Chains A and B, each alone.
Chain A
């Protein structure tokens, strides 16, 4: 396990109900995880705790088996290993040009100028930012800013990448590019956790799903297993990915259609076919 939350409590000073209540959640190493839940279910709080920005009020957070320490050096170390991409890139980009912004985290690590420049150069090539490198940040579109904020974090070569609603400001094409990029990042051994509302995206991209509700973990598992629990998900008003809906509707139509006697015998879509269809919609 890479990062573990053990019975973590967190309540914001201004809020009557807790953001996280004795939440236990373990992030497995090397996986693509999706964190699903409604607004205000505690996704962002979870990320801020994982990054050592908040301290749990109860319980503990463990990084690779040992509890987090909240002194300056340990935190510096943790924040290099756990990269957090915030939802709003506007607030994450602080320097005035793209190149300078990417260098910011490296400079904070106290690296020499030549090493910083070399690593910034690599990140700029890897994220296709060459044309934007010397442009001021406020000249970029939101999609471009999002790309820069991902590069900002990846240039530190974290072991765990946390993404808070990464597709919130992106159009279809940019989302697809982001997914390709994330696949490359995962291939280099980085574990990724993405908080999202988008069930279809979570289904096609993730290989481990967490369902969060009111600060508690409700379900976790592989996408097939989690989304098979239709009743629980409907109770939480989350629903299931479209492909599950379609398959269930088709099955229903087949069993109701009295003229199609052949299919009526089966009364359902055969299990292997169902699984094959479900598989086709993943990794697309």
Chain B
């Protein structure tokens, strides 16, 4: 899943005509709820946002779950560290209540901890919920629109311009790297470990050289197009807010907030 594909999906998503501010606000609100809420509410957030992304925005299920599996994989790799404990046999009685399953190994006792399992569950729910917020944004709001929003809410001009140029040229850089990589491979540049390192060094060196060359060319073209030290562009895109989506978003957020509040109330 390359960044180019994600970018293409964002441009063709069915929620494209909604104002980007609405989508960003929605995702930020849900992210905040995720931080405040418990695991069940977090799972609700994840499921609800998955419906938005897959059903409403029309992002292919396979792509969406492949992206989610990245998070899941990270979560899975952290499971042993969270759930498995290892203690000296002598202190076993003090943790007896925490043991779920365990066995003795020489002088040690190795066990799965109740608290650890609970923690892992909470962590998993939180991770899935917050990544689904991020994915909702990157899969339905094209990066250029995020930049426009940043500009409108008064983010420093310099930062926005830098991000805009980075976004434009990151693809040129990736393409160049890819071309060099292919050329090297077709000439057997990565056959052995030693060659591999040498070729990679060459690739990085070449990338730097070409970047500098590119920089010279781009500054020439910018000057030729009348660059005045301030990067301004216009666009004519018209957004239409949808009553149906706004209603669902507001109602859903309200329900989630009530659920979270209720949880807190019960605990007190």
Cα(A90)–Cα(B235), bound, Å: 21
Residues of A within 8 A of B142 (CB): 136
**Which residue in chain B gives the minimum CB-CB distance to A54?**
B220
Residues of B within 8 A of A88 (CB): 217
Residues of A within 8 A of B214 (CB): 91
Cα(A86)–Cα(B214), bound, Å: 13
Q: Is residue B92 within 8 Å, beta carbon to beta carbon, of the partner chain?
A: no
Residues of B within 8 A of A220 (CB): none
Residues of A within 8 A of B52 (CB): none
Contact of B233 among A76, A86, A100, A134 (CB under 8 A): A100
Residues of B within 8 A of A86 (CB): 217, 220-221, 224
Residues of A within 8 A of B168 (CB): 93-96, 137-138
Cα(A60)–Cα(B142), bound, Å: 48
Q: How many residues of A contact B (CB 8 A)?
A: 40
Q: Is residue B61 within 8 Å, beta carbon to beta carbon, of the partner chain?
A: no
- The CB with the most chain B CB atoms within 10 A, among A95, A117, A152, is that of A95
Cα(A91)–Cα(B226), bound, Å: 15
Q: Is residue A48 within 8 Å, beta carbon to beta carbon, of the partner chain?
A: yes
The 9 closest A-B pairs by CB, nearest first: A108-B226, A100-B233, A138-B171, A107-B232, A103-B234, A91-B217, A96-B144, A116-B234, A92-B221
Q: Is residue A159 within 8 Å, beta carbon to beta carbon, of the partner chain?
A: no
Contact A107 B225 (CB under 8 A): no
Contact of A113 among B218, B224, B234 (CB under 8 A): B234
Cα(A97)–Cα(B225), bound, Å: 16
Q: Is residue B245 within 8 Å, beta carbon to beta carbon, of the partner chain?
A: no
- Shortest CB-to-CB span from A141 to chain B, Å, is 13
For residues 133 through 173 of chain B, which have their beta carbon under 8 Å from a beta carbon of chain A?
142-144, 147, 164-165, 167-168, 171-172
Contact B226 A48 (CB under 8 A): no
Mark each residue of chain A from 106 to 135: 1 if its CB lies under 8 Å from any CB of chain B, else 0.
111100010011001100000000000011
Contact B144 A97 (CB under 8 A): yes
Q: Is residue A53 within 8 Å, beta carbon to beta carbon, of the partner chain?
A: yes
| Other contacts beyond A100-B235, A108-B232: 18, CB < 8 A | A53-B224, A76-B226, A91-B218, A92-B221, A94-B221, A95-B164, A99-B237, A100-B233, A100-B234, A104-B231, A104-B232, A106-B234, A107-B234, A108-B228, A134-B235, A134-B237, A136-B11, A136-B144
- Shortest CB-to-CB span from A203 to chain B, Å, is 29
- Shortest CB-to-CB span from A72 to chain B, Å, is 9
- Shortest CB-to-CB span from A154 to chain B, Å, is 12
Cα(A96)–Cα(B170), bound, Å: 11
Cα(A105)–Cα(B233), bound, Å: 8
Q: Is residue A160 within 8 Å, beta carbon to beta carbon, of the partner chain?
A: no
Contact B236 A53 (CB under 8 A): no
Residues of B within 8 A of A137 (CB): 168
Contact of B227 among A80, A108, A120, A139 (CB under 8 A): A108
Contact A107 B233 (CB under 8 A): yes
Q: Is residue B195 within 8 Å, beta carbon to beta carbon, of the partner chain?
A: no
**Which residue in chain B gives the minimum CB-CB distance to A116?**
B234
Q: Is residue A51 within 8 Å, beta carbon to beta carbon, of the partner chain?
A: yes
Contact A117 B236 (CB under 8 A): yes
Cα(A97)–Cα(B11), bound, Å: 11
Contact A103 B144 (CB under 8 A): no
Residues of B within 8 A of A91 (CB): 214, 217-218, 221
- Shortest CB-to-CB span from B172 to chain A, Å, is 6
Residue contacts A-B, CB under 8 angstroms, 8 given: A91-B214, A94-B225, A95-B233, A96-B144, A96-B164, A104-B231, A120-B234, A152-B225
Cα(A86)–Cα(B221), bound, Å: 8
Contact (A139, B167) CB under 8 Å given A88-B217, A108-B226: no
- The CB with the most chain A CB atoms within 10 A, among B168, B214, B223, B234, is that of B234
- Shortest CB-to-CB span from A85 to chain B, Å, is 9
Contact A99 B235 (CB under 8 A): yes
